[in-house]
Structure formats: C-alpha cells, structure tokens
Structure 1
C-alpha cells in the first residue's frame, strides 16, 4: 500500500537515509499505484510517485485540464518535499511532459534543480493530435484511444476500471492537446526511453531531446508499444540508477543552482 508523504506524492517504501531520490510521473490516466513497484527496483533510491487529482484517493478532486496550472501545483508540492538530497525526475508519456516542464520552470526561477531528467514515450515537438478525440462519446472515445495506443490493455478490457479511469484520461488528454512547445532547454542531463513500436512516436524522435540539454545521455529503444515500460521497468530503473550515481557530486551545469547553503 502507498505511504502518503503528502497529498501529491506517495511511496511504498520511505527511505530517509537514501542518498538520492527519484520523483516519478505517470502516464495519461495513470495513477501512483501503477508505479509504486519501482520502489523495489531502485533499492538505493527513495522513489516518490506523483498522484494527480481525479484518481484513486483523489478521485473526488477535479483533474487539471491545462498544463500551466498543473505544473505550478506540482512544483509547489515537489519543492516542499526537497530536503537537500540530489533528486531526479522521470516521467512516462504525459508524465514526461510534466517532468520536463517542472525542470524548465525550476531552473528558470533559480530553484534547486534536478541532477537528471528521464523521459519516456514522449518528445516535446511531437505532441499526439488528440483534439478530435475529446468531444467523442465514451464508446467512440475508448475505441479511438485504443487505436492510438494510449490506453493500457488491462484498463480497456475491464469495464469497471475503465469507467473509473475515463474522467482522468479525458482531462489528461486535454492537457496534451492544449500544450504548446516553446523550445525550452534544461541544464541537467537528459536520458530518453521508448518502445520501438510506439504508435505515438515516429522512429528516431526521442533523439530530438539532444537539442534540449547540454548533456544528452542517449535514447534507448525497447521492444513494445507505448506501454513497453511494463515489460522493461527493471532495465530502465537500472539505467536511471547508473546515471544518478554518475551525476552525484558532479560539478556540471545541473548542479550550479543547487542551494548548498540551505540549512
């Protein structure tokens, strides 16, 4: 069961003695529960998973439909969690968009920046054209998102679970539809991941992240579609841990704005 650390982030295994921390952001329609097993995949890292409004214990809350206000709320929650330990951001699909915008805004305002940004299943210049899906009635909407490949099979095949997920999924896709890329760069290293058969990304698009960072750690492609992550979480978590270990103590651009003098 998740252990609340606040309204916005949860962990299955609090680790106050871990040297590093990872803040993880789920896919569109996803919840913290889908990613809490990552705590076991990263034994030397404290993993905190974002729980957005409109799902699970926050189901009664209205989900966000615009990126700016959601990123602002997430940033307030994230900065309240920071304790001076090096931290990384990782997101899949919509979560990658949110993690990226958080890194951009924090650095732009001189905040305590992440040492690493991990992005999966999303590239900033290739936003999924979902505007036409949003007005569709539920049955046609579900058929369409299945075709796009942005609905996990275990959700689409379970009517009760599908009914619970649909409001959050619609809101999350509205976020994606309304997002406008501004070409912003981040100062921290970026590692990108994706599925070779992901219908939401053209082949090679993950390499476009190289233009958004001075330290591009490469794009790793795995067998599978948009939700390739379910089958390759161990490999991705291991790669993130390796990058985290290399960045800790580094005097690179990613560290220049860390508040070393904070109490």
Structure 2
C-alpha cells in the first residue's frame, strides 16, 4: 500500500501547557549530545519504564522520557481521556523543548500510537519533525486491545504482565495505576484510523508472542512511511520490551546517527 497523507483542516494554535518541565525526565536534555530521543510509555505506565535507557544509549544521544499527567509523581493531575488534545499538548511540549539538534521518537503500545500521531501533527503544522519514528507493540492495522481494558483496567494490566510488584503491593499506587489505565484506554479508543502517513523513516519492534497483534500487523507500517526499516521481532509477549531493552537501544543507537546526518 502506498503511503498517503490524510487531508485535514488548517491547524489552529497549539494549546499552552502548564508546567511543561514536568512532562520530561530528565527535564533538561544533555547539552553535549548530538541528537535527541523522546520516549513515550504504554497505557497505565509512566516514564520510569525507561529509567535504564539513558545508561544504555551512547552519550551522543540525549534521552528524555515523557511523563503523562495522572500517574507516578503526576498522579494528582487529571489524565487526558481524548487523543486529539493529548497529541496537541505533546506537540507543544516537544516543539517548545527542541533546539537545533535532530530528534527521534520511540513509543511502546499506546506510546507508539502517540508517537505516530505526534509525528503526523508536527509535520502537518510545519514544526520540526522527527528524523526517525520507532514504534513498538502497536500498529494502526491489526492491533486489538483486550476486552478487559475497558471493563477492568486492573485485570488488563495483570493479563498483559504490565503490573509491577511494587505497584500491586501499594494501595495508593495501585489506585493511581487503575485510574491512569482507564483514562489511557479512553485515549486509545478515541483513535480513528485516517490512513495518515509520516514523512520520516519508521522502524518497528514487537514481541513474537504478542496476543494483541494480528500476524503481520507490524508490517502494515510499510504503508505509512516512504522508508520502512523493517520489523525487529523478539521472544516474548506484549511486554517483551523489559527483557530486550538492551538490543533495542543498541539498534536505535545505530539508526539515529544515520538518519540525523541525512536530515
């Protein structure tokens, strides 16, 4: 399928985002790095899922994880429940944060959805867009959320293996995770596929036994980009990422300089 870009109305102004520094971990990018990498977490998760990534990437890459409202240290803030407003807020956060350095976006599961729509939005607005989009565990075609996601967010977290023991054993953290998961489920349900393509290369990652992905789902990304870099598959299910973060960061460390240089 050829990549297509869906038409849309002229973009209005991006919304102001209060306390934008709270959105990024760390708040400031390493000044000596040559390129940047923004990381987007899965439904019900938070920026802490990427705590080991900066140490696994070379010093030439400034790594910042996005922390959405409604979880972890932002758990007292209202979470987003609509996709469009969240993507616009992310576009504001990222565009305000950027400097002259090229950047890439990586997202897992809901984070891949957000990274995709963030890239579409920045390109639509004529803002500096990523030189590389890396997506994991989600595709615009062939992805099916479990029924428990909307009926019982906690059960969905347990079924998918995405409920850390520290959270399961803390009533306050557990309540926050359930609230975030429910809101994130609404964000994901708000996605309606318009067939939009991105202008940058896309690389896809997935677990070989991911129950949420139909066979060949990740290969559908080939129709959303002028340069599909293929799908890297690993042993594991939807949360294969925790066991294979070292291999994924090593792959990104090879890809990012190549596409940053050709910007």
The TM-score, its normalising length taken from structure 2, stands at 0.86
Contact 2:153 2:181 in 1 (8 A): no
Of 22, 27, 34, the match for 1:19 = 34
Contact 1:11 1:36 in 2 (8 A): no
Determine the C-alpha separation between the residues in 1 that align with 2:177 and 2:128. 34
Contact 1:9 1:49 in 2 (8 A): yes
The residue number in structure 2 matching 1:175 is 187
Determine the C-alpha separation between the residues in 2 that align with 1:55 and 1:141. 14
The residue number in structure 1 matching 2:216 is 204
Of 91, 102, 127, the match for 1:111 = 127
SS at match of 2:261: coil
RMSD: 2.1
Contact 1:195 1:221 in 2 (8 A): yes
The residue number in structure 2 matching 1:162 is 174
Show structure 2 runs of 5+ residues with no match: 1-18
Aligned length: 243
The residue number in structure 1 matching 2:258 is 246
Shift of 1:6: 0.9
CA separation of 1:142/1:5 partners in 2, compared to 1, >3 Å: closer, same or farther? closer
Determine the C-alpha separation between the residues in 2 that align with 1:57 and 1:129. 27
CA separation of 1:141/1:8 partners in 2, compared to 1, >3 Å: closer, same or farther? closer
The residue number in structure 1 matching 2:136 is 120
Shift of 1:34: 1.5
Contact 1:13 1:46 in 2 (8 A): no
Show structure 1 runs of 5+ residues with no match: 256-263
The TM-score, its normalising length taken from structure 1, stands at 0.86
CA separation of 1:176/1:130 partners in 2, compared to 1, >3 Å: closer, same or farther? farther
The residue number in structure 1 matching 2:114 is 98
